[in-house]
Amino acid sequence: MTTIKVRKNGPYRVIDDGDGDDVTVVDWNGREYPAPERPIALCRCGASATKPFCDKSHARAGFTPDTDDGEDSPAAG
């Protein structure tokens, strides 16, 4: 199973439990991005120089999300 975890004031973490299901990041044009590391960290602050992946720019930018859900809160919706 693959889990996407929202990190408080940080990236989306994509965690694969190693069950053999591979994770592929694909943009709206169908371009695939090889993951540089595991677990995968996806940018959500918009400041990363390595989009769609996180490069920790959120810390330098002082990123805070629109909500304060934290990493353990369920998604609204």
Domain boundaries, the chain: 2-61
pLDDT recorded at residue 26: 93
State the chain's maximal CA–CA distance in angstroms: 36
pLDDT recorded at residue 75: 47
Listed in sequence order, the residues at least 6 apart from 73 whose beta carbon sits closer than 8 Å to its beta carbon are 6
Q: What is the mean pLDDT of residues 3-8?
A: 92
CB atoms within 10 A of CB 47: 17
**pLDDT for 6-33, tens place per residue?**
999 999 999 887 776 678 899 999 999 9
CATH of domain 2-61: 3.40.5
pLDDT recorded at residue 73: 47
